[in-house]
């Protein structure tokens, strides 16, 4: 990792600590371990003989030195990107179009930070987002209508080459009115909490729903499905509104307001692993734009990042 990448990484870490007030929650949001995150912070603090974080109060905040460091580092990274883009234009770099297929719900979780990083590096690439159900996106990728497809594995066709980005956990969301006596630790079997109870499912064209349906069958869960939706966020909102329980990726909860009240049971990852992948058509040569985009994704969600 070069100095620019380290600066970008530290920017994300400090911004996450500002947002969550906690090193553990910041690490969870950035998909890195807490020891790794702490080591990165300590290394910079030792380098400059300063404290970036005020650890004497909770929630944690940045020190004046940390706030100044974050501001100036963001300016330096931005200036470097501007210089890099200008040099690329002077070199007559031809612009490309990158067409990304992604499920609407997953787009909200994955794309905002990734596209920001990518656009800063490759400002001349025209980005087009196609948001459809998983089956349609996989078909579009095979039909060469997409450069890449981001979704939850498994894909339907072996002609699609997959690169795993990260593995998310699943959480059972319980409406506030019925959220009583819930276990504090992750469980494998949630049948006791949803059998014969109102339940919100995603549509069958969803990769996420394929995994949820398989999980429910494995543990003989028999909820009473009252509505189906193509959007995970909609399912979550309906659940906290009292319509019924639902299952969502754990990462979805990070983007929700803290004041929202609901019950939750985390499902053990070994029971319901959610592998988020980026897929390509094996039969189509990879363009520079898609190659750089996949590299940005992998760097963003690298365990050491």
Same domain for 159 and 230? no
Chain segment 100-139, per-residue pLDDT in tens: 999 777 787 788 889 998 998 888 888 999 988 777 888 8
Same domain for 147 and 187? no
Same domain for 116 and 208? no
Q: For residues 257-268, give the mean pLDDT.
A: 81
- Whether the pLDDT of residue 66 is over 90: the answer is yes
Q: In this structure, is residue 245 part of a structural domain?
A: yes
Report the chain's mean pLDDT, rounded to a whole number. 86
Q: Which of 70, 127, 64, 67 is nearest to 101 (CA)?
A: 127
What residues contact residue 1 under an 8 Å CB cut-off, 6+ apart? 9
Q: In this structure, is residue 153 part of a structural domain?
A: yes
Q: What pLDDT is attached to residue 154? A: 59
Same domain for 147 and 102? yes
In this prediction, residue 92 has a pLDDT band, given cuts at 50, 70 and 90, of: very low
Same domain for 183 and 201? yes
Q: In this structure, is residue 305 part of a structural domain?
A: no
Same domain for 159 and 285? yes
Chain segment 162-202, per-residue pLDDT in tens: 889 989 999 999 998 887 888 989 999 999 999 999 999 98
Which domain does 39 fall in, by range?
A: 3-90
Q: What pLDDT is attached to residue 90? A: 52
Q: In this structure, is residue 126 part of a structural domain?
A: yes
Structural domains counted in the chain: 3
CATH number of the domain encompassing residue 11:
1.10.10.10
- Whether the pLDDT of residue 89 is over 80: the answer is no
Same domain for 221 and 264? yes
Same domain for 268 and 280? no
Decide: 27 and 65 in contact? Cβ < 8 Å: no
Q: Is 31 left (phi over 0), alpha (psi -120 to 50) or beta?
A: left
Q: What is the pTM of this model?
A: 0.61
CATH number of the domain encompassing residue 246:
3.40.190.290
Same domain for 162 and 281? yes
Same domain for 121 and 135? yes
Same domain for 258 and 202? yes
Final residue belonging to a domain, choices 90, 117, 142: 90
CATH number of the domain encompassing residue 280:
3.40.190.10
Q: In this structure, is residue 24 part of a structural domain?
A: yes
Same domain for 162 and 285? yes
């Amino acid at each position: 990792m070069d100095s620019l990448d380290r600066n970008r990484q530290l920017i994300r870490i400090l911004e996450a600590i500002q947002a969550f007030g906690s090193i553990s929650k910041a690490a969870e949001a950035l998909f890195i371990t807490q020891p790794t995150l702490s080591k990165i912070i300590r290394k910079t603090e030792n380098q400059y003989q300063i404290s970036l974080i005020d650890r004497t109060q909770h929630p944690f905040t940045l020190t004046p030195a940390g706030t100044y460091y974050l501001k100036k580092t963001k300016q330096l990274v931005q200036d470097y990107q501007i210089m890099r883009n200008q040099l690329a234009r002077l070199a007559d770099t031809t612009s490309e179009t990158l067409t990304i297929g992604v499920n609407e719900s997953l787009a909200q979780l994955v794309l905002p930070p990734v596209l920001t990083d990518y656009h800063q590096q490759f400002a001349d690439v025209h980005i087009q987002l196609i948001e459809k159900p998983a089956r349609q996106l996989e078909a579009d990728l095979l039909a060469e209508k997409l450069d890449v497809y981001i979704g939850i594995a498994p894909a339907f066709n072996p002609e699609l080459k997959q690169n795993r980005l990260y593995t998310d956990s699943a959480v059972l969301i319980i409406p506030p009115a019925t959220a009583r006596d819930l276990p504090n630790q992750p469980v494998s079997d949630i049948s006791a909490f949803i059998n014969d109870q109102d339940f919100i499912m995603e549509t069958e064209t969803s990769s996420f729903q394929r995994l949820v349906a398989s999980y429910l069958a494995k543990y003989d869960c028999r909820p009473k499905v009252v509505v189906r939706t193509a959007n995970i966020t909609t399912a979550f909102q309906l659940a906290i509104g009292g319509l019924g329980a639902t299952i969502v990726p754990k990462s979805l909860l990070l983007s929700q307001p803290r004041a929202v009240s609901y019950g939750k049971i985390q499902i053990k990852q070994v029971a319901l692993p959610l592998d988020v992948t980026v897929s390509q058509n094996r039969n189509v040569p990879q363009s520079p734009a898609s190659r750089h985009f996949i590299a940005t994704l992998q760097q963003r969600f690298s365990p050491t990042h």
